[in-house]
Amino acid sequence: METKFVAPQLRYEAGSLAPVISEQTIGFHYGKHLQTYVNNLNTMVVGTEWEHASLEEIAAKAQGGIGNNAGQVLNHNLYFEQFAPKPTRNRPEGKLAEAIEKSFGSFDEMKSRMSAAASTLFGSGWAWLCADQEGNLSVAQMANADNPLRHNLRPILTFDVWEHAYYLDYQNRRPDYLAALWTIIDWQIVESRFEK
Ligand code: MN
């Protein structure tokens, strides 16, 4: 099998995000779900116009199964990258902090809109903090494998609200999962997405 696309190495030990995200959930979510999307994408692109394209290009433009699997690989890469067991700060600084003030009025307002978007998304999908080309921020709900690149936006922060992301640890209590996620965000990673 082609191994063009790979799941990124985790930047932390699999059990180190517990109790926010358990080692068991990382085992299934990162180890099985993400790996399946990676494997599917590697298989599906062979012999297509996407065979030599980047992940970002495929996730932004491809339709059908290839677009869905590329979107899920991209989204999960961003999701798993943005956490740390013991973040040094609980809010952003610098340019991202300024942009949040400008676009939402306050960090707490952004947080509450992001939590609301994630908790009210019907079915499977993702809540996003996105930036446009001018650096204005917005919060969006995107279903299934949809992602900001398809809307000409840059992904800054994402919450996976597919049930596989939280069901082992929180069952039906999606709001509890979302409240806990804020405590493991590595704001330096999130800031670097905005600044690049
Ligand atoms: Mn997921």
Q: Over the stretch 140-187, which tens digit does the pLDDT of each residue have?
A: 999 999 999 999 999 999 999 999 999 999 999 999 999 999 999 999
pLDDT (0 to 100) of residue 183: 98
Question: Residue 111 — φ and ψ, nearest 5°?
Answer: -60, -45
Question: Residue 9 — φ and ψ, nearest 5°?
Answer: -60, 140
The residues, ordered by sequence, that sit 6+ positions from 122 with a Cβ below 8 Å of its Cβ are none
Which stretches in the chain have pLDDT values below 50? 1-2
Cis peptide before 19 (omega within 30 of 0): yes
Q: Which residues are bridge partners to 88 per DSSP?
A: none
Measured in Å, residue 72 CA sits from the centre of ligand 1 at: 7
Taking the model in full, what pTM does it have? 0.97
- C-alpha to C-alpha distance for 118 and 126, rounded to whole angstroms: 7
Measured in Å, residue 107 CA sits from the centre of ligand 1 at: 26
Measured in Å, residue 102 CA sits from the centre of ligand 1 at: 31
pLDDT (0 to 100) of residue 3: 63
pLDDT (0 to 100) of residue 10: 97
